[in-house]
Amino acid sequence: MSFKDRSGIFFAIRPLVLLGYLCLMLGMFGLLTVIPLGVSLAWGTPESSLYYLAIITISLLLGWYGVSLTKNSKVYIQRNESLALVALVFIVSSLIQSIPIMSGGIPFLDAWFEAVSGVTTTGLSTLENLNQKSPAFLFSRGWMQWVGGLGIIVLALALVFQPGIVTRQLGFDSNEVEDVVGGTRSHARRILLTYALLTLAIMLALILAGSGICDSLVHAMAALSTGGFANHDDSLASVSFWERVIILGGCLAGAISFNLYYRRQFRDWNQIFGDKQFLFLVGMILFMTAMLFLSMTHSDILGLEERIEHSLWMAVSAQTTAGFATIPPQDMGLPALGLMSAAMFVGGGLGSTAGGIKLLRLMLLLRVFQLYLQRLSSSQHADIPERFMGSPITSIDIQGAVAVVLTYLGTLLISWIIFLQYGYDPLLSLFEVSSALGTSGLSAGLTGPDLDPVLKVVLIIDMLMGRTEGIAIVILLVPGNWFGKRRNLK
């Protein structure tokens, strides 16, 4: 079907609608920035406080303008508009957040890199000497990831508002599918309560384990958001055993679909342990732990107990895309880097704070492959039920999964080739790009202040592509979404 033939059913993005909702989102961002402003004032960092105050003022003014643009409740946001909104929110909010980071004398590109890594809950960083940073600065990093993680769950709902298995697994009904904004709001209230309670529980557990207040708060926020910003240059290498258990347990909690937590108002917790995505996540972590252990069998660096422990910690960190490290990944050997690259590519559960293509999509594609093999082994008229997790498989389900996977693979390949052009080791480059695209944050030692600016930009693009699942960025950049017939605003 040509573009002209489908003009009657295809509607271009309405710039005023998109601008209105973007301003509303930035207004909410301004309200959330009040928290780091208070912390900055409390710890006596006046310069960054002034930047935060300016950000709040401008954001609230934009929010007020957004209210005036969207006051007509009959205007529903289109799917292509919601996708473009997701992309713009992460891009614009990271640019805004880079301003107070620059107040510490950090160059713009490194500040933007840090902000993108924060709001996308990646955890890669070009900064050094974190132990010398103020508590206010460390809190702001954790806060970016916490807010980014919450925003990911809420905004990413717009990515899947269409009939199909993915939407049903997130708990949406048919009415919410028709109303993207209303459906997102109804789920956002439940998500916020769940998110806050889990963060508080992780923080209190860390305090009981002997962690300081600042470390407990920042690591709790970074763990549940599967962000990975630690308060130490060596990540989790210097923290106690029980602190690691709690932090990585928080990462596991963040990699589970949040729909499972608030399903039936917290009454059926056993549904979490019976969920197929959760069981697949645990199975992947156990498999990855065993494979990492075997890959380090001939290593003389670590003893037996250390290999077992680090294999488990790093398997959880890679599969949940949290990015916390208990040992430098490059010290685990090249086979381990390849294994963790695969884990970061897959990621955690759909509807969680984890990155990657998501477990549900991998499970769906494996089911489609299984059905294909069954048809090859059956008669032409055999009745083979095409179902997955109790629901019929539709073309929308398959198209969505294939589109996301192909977008990830294409972005991964292009980014990897660029790194190779700069002369970096192929496997180390693949690991670094996989970490950025999977919003994991584990680094093989390539990301740092001396990394070429072009490669920093490549990783920034990878983090944004990975967080928006690529499709949102593509929608934003395709000219066909901006030109053509538009729905009336009334």
Q: What is the DSSP string of 77-144?
A: PPHHHHHHHHHHHHHHHHHHHHHHHHTTT--HHHHHHHHHHHHTT--------GGGS-HHHHHHHHHH
**Has residue 476 got a pLDDT over 80?**
yes
Say what the pLDDT of residue 177 is: 44
Residue 282 tokens read as 């645990």
Whether the predicted pLDDT of 166 surpasses 50: no
Q: What are the pLDDT digits (tens) for 65-113?
A: 988 887 765 566 787 888 888 889 899 999 999 999 998 889 999 999 9
Global confidence as pTM: 0.89
Is 482 contained in some domain?
A: no
Amino acid at 375: R
pLDDT above 80 (res 328): yes
Please tell me the predicted confidence (pLDDT) of residue 184: 55
Residue 149 lies in a domain: no
Q: What local confidence, expressed as pLDDT, does residue 374 receive?
A: 87
Q: How many independent structural domains does the chain possess?
A: 1
Vertex 225: Cα angle to 316 and 352 (nearest 5) = 80
Q: How far is CA 408 from CA 357, 414, 416, 469, in A?
A: 7, 10, 12, 7
Q: What is the pLDDT of residue 254?
A: 93
Residue indicated by tokens 């299984």: 370
Can you tell me the mean pLDDT for 153-162? 48
Q: Is the pLDDT of residue 421 over 90?
A: yes
- Per-residue model confidence as pLDDT tens digits over 235-259: 999 899 999 999 999 999 999 988 7
- 176: confidence class by pLDDT, cuts 50, 70, 90: very low
**Domain annotation covers residue 136:** no
Q: Does residue 378 fall inside a structural domain?
A: yes
Residue 209 lies in a domain: no
Amino acid at 137: F
**Does a structural domain hold residue 289?**
yes
Mean pLDDT of 412-427: 97
- Written as six digits, the tokens of 399 are 């198209």
Read off the pLDDT of each residue in 361-371 and give the average, rounded to a whole number.
Answer: 92
Which pLDDT score, from 0 to 100, does residue 268 have? Answer: 57
Among 6-20, 165-179, 214-228, 254-268, which is the least confidently predicted range? Answer: 165-179
Decide if 430 is inside a domain: yes
Is the pLDDT at 156 greater than 50? The verdict is: no
- Partners of residue 392 on adjacent β-strands: 387
Q: What is the pLDDT of residue 264?
A: 47
Average of per-residue pLDDT values in the chain: 85
Span of 131-140, 145-154, 215-224 with lowest mean pLDDT: 145-154
Q: What CA–CA distance (Å, rounded) separates 292 from 335?
A: 8
Residue 179 has pLDDT above 50, yes or no: no
Determine contact, residues 444/434, Cβ cutoff 8 Å.
no
Residue type present at position 78: Q
Q: Is residue 265 part of a domain?
A: no
| Kind plus residue range of the DSSP H or E element containing 309 | helix 304-319
Quote the domain boundaries for residue 426: 282-472
Q: What is the DSSP letter of 231?
A: S
Q: What is the pLDDT, as a whole number, of residue 154?
A: 60
Indicate if the pLDDT at residue 418 is higher than 50: yes
Residue 386 confidence (pLDDT): 83
